[in-house]
């Protein structure tokens, strides 16, 4: 008699480590461009015709700077803000779409599609000898930049309700680590200009920033292979059938169409705090340079310090706190710490107080982000995790679209300290609104 056939073994659930590395690799490529945006502008402007797109954009920012009474640095700040805003607006539009599509089609397939699209954008950047091609590469990268919300939704899929918010701390740690590593690689690789050794490559569109672009492309291709080999699907067929039909819609309508009032309110809390945090990011290096004479290297150390504190908080401290107390208390404590840090930075008469303020701010941010992400996930139905977290990422992109220009303008009109004090006010407004959030069921 033949022995009975062995029962098929269920596939192992997707590990958080796989998601962590997926996010980390993606964010390195995303942030590698940060250190040399001014150099990019200068390079493309030199090769631009008088009636070109870049010349026209710079003329508009110069005119606005003159209107606001500043003829020196404001135009540069505004222009960098415009480039950042353009990319973020595309993510604002597409993040809810990719998140909802992953509810319907599955996380793995959508991740593969978005990472491949991002890789295509980086490939175009490698050969972007003209500003038009560079902008097209940013359009492609921005439109396919939905992988962050999809990977975050996968965390919700593979964790229980009790451990959901603690797991979101690992997502934040991946963000922080990627946003530290990427700019460091960008600063190092931007000093290697292929045209210096091979000037004939210029006819193929190779430019002084092709090496960082190649690194970003390489990281994306590694991510494609990693996802294909290690990322197992996290959404069951039954859950996919429950999700709503997917279509690209007005992102503001997608936000207000969320069925749960608690999800909408938690998203609003996260958005208000994100405005405060992005205002700090936009203004910090200018404040340190103006008030204390900090060089680019010293400003880089400020950002590294902020990132390391955030990684420690989200990777370790918040996970311990969420075992001991609720998301709502952790959120409140984080908002208070962030507000105190912003005021300390804005009014600091000495550099060491800036570091104290950054420690408070990084700790506060490290508590706010996992708790708000966890609350949004816990308030949402299982079949709508991608949609709800896509809206969350979309609002984060909206804050990055509108805040740099507004904060930069306010900085040069009213002074750096005022930007930080107003940002602290935003954090306290988020604290007040968070008091109306209900305790989630677990």
pLDDT tens by residue, 104-137:
899 999 999 999 999 999 999 999 998 889 989 9
Per-residue pLDDT for 245 more than 60? no
- Looking at residue 9, what is its pLDDT? 37
Helix axes 16-31, 164-189, angle to 10 degrees: 30
Residue that wins the pLDDT comparison between 301 and 339: 339
Burial of 71 (0-12, 13-18, 19+ CB in 10 A): exposed
Residue that wins the pLDDT comparison between 64 and 169: 169
pLDDT tens by residue, 372-399:
999 999 999 888 898 888 888 888 888 9
Compute the average pLDDT of residues 160-184. Answer: 86
CA–CA distances in Å: residue 411 to residues 245, 287, 340, 344, 438: 44, 9, 20, 17, 37
Look-up: residue for tokens 């020196």? 72
Q: Phi and psi at residue 70, in whole multiples of 5°?
A: -135, 120
**Mean pLDDT, the chain, integer:** 84
Does the domain at residues 16-237+248-434 carry the CATH identifier 1.20.1250.20? Answer: yes
- Looking at residue 400, what is its pLDDT? 85
Per-residue pLDDT for 22 more than 80? yes
Burial of 434 (0-12, 13-18, 19+ CB in 10 A): buried
Q: Are 21 and 226 in contact (CB under 8 A)?
A: yes
The rounded distance, in Å, linking the Cα atoms of 279 and 271 is: 12
Q: Which 8-state DSSP code applies to residue 73?
A: S
Residue that wins the pLDDT comparison between 336 and 290: 336
- Looking at residue 77, what is its pLDDT? 58
pLDDT tens by residue, 303-351:
788 888 988 998 889 989 988 899 999 999 999 999 999 999 999 999 9
Q: Are 428 and 269 in contact (CB under 8 A)?
A: no
Of all residues in the chain, the percent with pLDDT exceeding 90 is 38
- Looking at residue 184, what is its pLDDT? 84
The rounded distance, in Å, linking the Cα atoms of 297 and 316 is: 28
- Looking at residue 254, what is its pLDDT? 67
- Looking at residue 130, what is its pLDDT? 87
Question: Minimum mean pLDDT among 189-193, 210-214, 272-276: which range?
Answer: 189-193
Q: Are 366 and 318 in contact (CB under 8 A)?
A: yes
Per-residue pLDDT for 261 more than 90? no
Banded pLDDT at 52 (limits 50, 70, 90): low
Angle, CA of 431, 437 and 441, to the nearest 5°: 135
- Looking at residue 61, what is its pLDDT? 66
Residue 266's nearest CA partner among 422, 442, 396, 88 is 396
pTM confidence score = 0.81
Element at 378 (helix H, strand E): helix 351-379
Compute the average pLDDT of residues 65-89. Answer: 64
Residue 344's nearest CA partner among 429, 430, 427 is 427
Domain boundaries, the chain: 16-237+248-434
Return the exposure string of 235-270: e unless at least 16 CB atoms fall within 10 Å of the residue's CB, then b. beeebeeebeebeeeebeebbeebebebbbbbbbbb
Residue that wins the pLDDT comparison between 43 and 232: 232
Element at 354 (helix H, strand E): helix 351-379
The rounded distance, in Å, linking the Cα atoms of 340 and 357 is: 7
The rounded distance, in Å, linking the Cα atoms of 120 and 115 is: 9
């Amino acid at each position: 008699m033949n022995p009975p056939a062995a029962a098929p073994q269920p596939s192992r659930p997707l590990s958080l480590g796989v998601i962590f590395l997926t996010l980390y690799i993606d964010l390195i490529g995303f942030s590698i461009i940060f250190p040399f945006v001014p150099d990019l502008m200068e390079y493309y402007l030199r090769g631009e015709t008088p009636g070109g797109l870049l010349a026209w954009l710079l003329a508009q920012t110069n005119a606005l700077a003159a209107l606001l009474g500043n003829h020196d640095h404001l135009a540069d700040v505004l222009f960098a803000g415009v480039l950042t805003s353009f990319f973020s607006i595309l993510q604002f539009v597409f993040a809810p779409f990719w998140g909802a599509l992953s509810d319907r089609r599955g996380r793995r397939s959508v991740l593969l599609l978005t990472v491949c699209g991002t890789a295509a954008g980086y490939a175009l950047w490698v050969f972007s000898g003209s500003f038009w091609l560079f902008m097209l590469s940013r359009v492609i990268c921005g439109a396919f930049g939905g992988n962050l919300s999809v990977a975050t939704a996968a965390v919700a899929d593979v964790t229980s309700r009790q451990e959901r918010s603690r797991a979101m701390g690992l997502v934040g740690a991946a963000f922080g680590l990627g946003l530290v590593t990427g700019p460091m690689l960008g600063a190092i690789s931007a000093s290697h200009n292929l045209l210096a050794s091979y000037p004939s490559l210029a006819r193929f569109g190779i430019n002084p920033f092709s090496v960082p672009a190649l690194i970003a492309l390489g990281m994306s291709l590694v991510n494609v292979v990693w996802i294909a080999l290690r990322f197992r699907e996290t959404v069951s067929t039954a859950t996919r059938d429950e999700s709503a039909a997917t279509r690209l819609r007005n992102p503001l309508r997608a936000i207000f169409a969320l069925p749960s009032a608690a999800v909408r309110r938690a998203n609003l809390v996260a958005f208000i705090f994100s405005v405060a945090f992005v205002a700090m990011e936009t203004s910090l290096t200018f404040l340190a340079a103006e008030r204390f004479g900090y060089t680019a290297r010293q400003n880089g150390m400020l950002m590294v310090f902020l990132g390391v504190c955030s990684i420690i908080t989200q990777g370790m401290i918040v996970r311990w706190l969420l075992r001991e107390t609720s998301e709502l208390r952790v959120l409140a404590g984080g908002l208070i710490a962030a507000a105190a840090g912003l005021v300390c930075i804005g009014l600091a008469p000495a550099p060491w107080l800036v570091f104290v303020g950054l420690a408070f701010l990084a700790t506060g941010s490290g508590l706010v982000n996992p708790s708000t992400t966890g609350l949004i996930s816990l308030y949402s139905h299982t079949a709508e995790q991608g949609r709800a977290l896509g809206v969350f990422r979309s609002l984060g992109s909206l804050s990055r679209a509108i805040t740099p220009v507004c904060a930069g303008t306010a900085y040069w009109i009213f002074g750096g300290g005022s930007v930080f004090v107003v940002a602290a006010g935003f954090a306290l407004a988020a604290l007040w609104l968070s008091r109306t959030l209900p305790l989630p069921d677990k």
